[in-house]
Amino acid sequence: MDWGYESSTRRRTCMLMVTHACNLNCSYCYEPYKKNVYMDINLAKEIISREAQFVKDSDLFDELEINFMGGEPFMNFPLIKGIVEWLETGVIAVPWICFATTNGTLLTDEIKLWLREHKDTINLSASYDGTGKMQSTNRGTDKHNIDLAFFHELYPHQPLHMTISKETLPTLAEGVLDIQRRGYNVEAALAEGIDWTVDDALMYREQLSILKDAYLKDTTLTPFNRLSRYVSVFDLPPDERTQEKWCGTGKHIATYDIDGKKYGCHMFSPLVLGKKALLADAVEWESPESNADDYCKSCVLRSFCPTCPGFNYRYRGHIAIRDKSWCPVILAEALTACEFQVELIANMDKLDEKDAQHGQNALQAYKALRNLDIMTSRSPYTI
């Protein structure tokens, strides 16, 4: 079993905010400043050339990813097309790949044909929230056709990305299994900026348990990410625990807005923050003081609990201050993930050393976590 312990950090990601426009209005959207403005292709070329030179001169990076962002990036398909074809002429001297996450509603037959012709140099990931009803609830896509088969054909290793809203939480298991039984992989994340409650946490645990049982029964299904994440609560004593930054914001990632100004990631750009946008050089991204929430420093799940500096800053005014309404839902997730991993490993015919150790760690974590009260809201969990 691949538990996802290792990941490459040698790639520099250059995010281009190619437009502030979007053709949808998702219920959980965190970009309130959308408008019909677009990046100029010549500016995009200048930025990519500088980033490529940076990678070439760097001891930290070996390759460059150009990530087209929005809004909906395919609102500016002419720029995407122009940049990919320009890069294919060999104008930069480092390995590169292009990438975009899209809602999938603007892919005409002409665009699909072009993507087929360039599938080795641009990868796509589709945002998709479950059943048709879940899509309609979150995204209002009743009148849109999204060709999931196309995404799976061209990008079979790219999972669909699901956002879990309060409204779709009660059908989470149904939505995930509907996607998977159609042959597609899916990764999910809870919507940010939502006041999650203890009742939501109990519902989340119920839905994750349904998925747990489904995966144990049908091993041909790939367990989705909320159940396969590693859980450990025995790394260091409480007074020695640190809070690491989860992402490459400001170091491995640089985001350029439509006017060329540079931000740590898209979450700090004017599309998200308006006039409160925070330029990249305004933050010491790697400083422990910048990333540590004192409230959470003794919590045994602080490394398991997702935290985004951009969302923290947008909703709470500081890149370190976490959303305390997540406490019960994260405990619900950790408990169910431990249960699933222990049961899965116990049922394996053959165990390698890594699986065996993983099972022991998951069991230890579960024994500790099961004594914690999921009904305790907005409280760090200590052992």
* pLDDT (0 to 100) of residue 220: 93
Q: Residues 31, 22: contact at Cβ < 8 Å?
A: yes
The mean per-residue pLDDT over the stretch 122-146 comes to 95
Q: Residues 61, 10: contact at Cβ < 8 Å?
A: yes
- Specify burial of residue 206 (Cβ count, 10 A radius: 0-12, 13-18, 19+): middle
Residue 109 has phi, psi (to 5 degrees) of: -60, -35
Alpha carbon distance, N-terminus to C-terminus of the chain: 29
Of 45-59, 286-300, 329-343, the poorest mean pLDDT is in 286-300
Distance separating alpha carbons of residues 350 and 168, to the nearest angstrom: 38
* Amino acid occupying residue 240: E
What's the pLDDT tens digit per position in 273-332?
999 999 999 988 887 777 789 898 888 888 888 889 999 999 999 999 999 999 999 999
Q: What share of the chain is helix, strand, coil (3-state, %, to 5)?
A: 45, 10, 45
Q: Answer whether residue 6 shows pLDDT above 60.
A: no
* pLDDT (0 to 100) of residue 8: 55
Q: Provide CB contacts within 8 A for 246, sequence distance 6+.
A: 306, 307, 308
Report the 10 Å Cβ neighbour count for 203: 17
The mean per-residue pLDDT over the stretch 28-42 comes to 97
Residue 11 has phi, psi (to 5 degrees) of: -105, 130
DSSP 81-106: HHHHHHHTTT-SSS-EEEEEEE-STT
Q: Which helix (H) or strand (E) holds 305?
A: none
* pLDDT (0 to 100) of residue 3: 45
Helices and strands (H, E) in the chain, number of each type: 13, 8
Q: Mean pLDDT for the chain?
A: 92
Q: Which residue has the tokens 């330029």?
A: 279
What's the pLDDT tens digit per position in 89-118?
999 999 999 999 999 999 999 999 999 999
DSSP 270-317: HHHHGGG--BGGGS-TT-HHHH--GGGTT-TTTTTS---HHHHHHHHS
Tokens representing 182 are 């159609």
Tokens representing 79 are 């720029």
| Residue 300 vs residues 27, 330, 366: alpha-carbon distances, Å | 32, 11, 12
Q: Answer whether residue 7 shows pLDDT above 50.
A: no
Which of 314, 265, 305 minimizes the C-alpha distance to 285? 265
The mean per-residue pLDDT over the stretch 45-59 comes to 97
Q: Answer whether residue 5 shows pLDDT above 50.
A: no
Q: Answer whether residue 1 shows pLDDT above 70.
A: no
**Residue 349: which pLDDT band, with cuts at 50, 70 and 90?**
confident
* pLDDT (0 to 100) of residue 2: 53
Strand partners, 163: 189
Distance separating alpha carbons of residues 195 and 204, to the nearest angstrom: 14
Comparing 65 with 292, the larger pLDDT belongs to 65
Tokens representing 359 are 């099972």
* pLDDT (0 to 100) of residue 65: 97
* Amino acid occupying residue 209: S
What's the pLDDT tens digit per position in 233-255?
765 565 655 666 778 888 899 99
Report the 10 Å Cβ neighbour count for 289: 7
* pLDDT (0 to 100) of residue 377: 66
Distance separating alpha carbons of residues 328 and 88, to the nearest angstrom: 48
Strand partners, 19: 38
Distance separating alpha carbons of residues 255 and 266, to the nearest angstrom: 6
Report the 10 Å Cβ neighbour count for 49: 12
Helix or strand or coil: residue 15? strand
Tokens representing 273 are 């923050």
Helix or strand or coil: residue 324? helix
Tokens representing 126 are 């589709």
What's the pLDDT tens digit per position in 356-382?
888 888 999 999 898 888 877 677 777
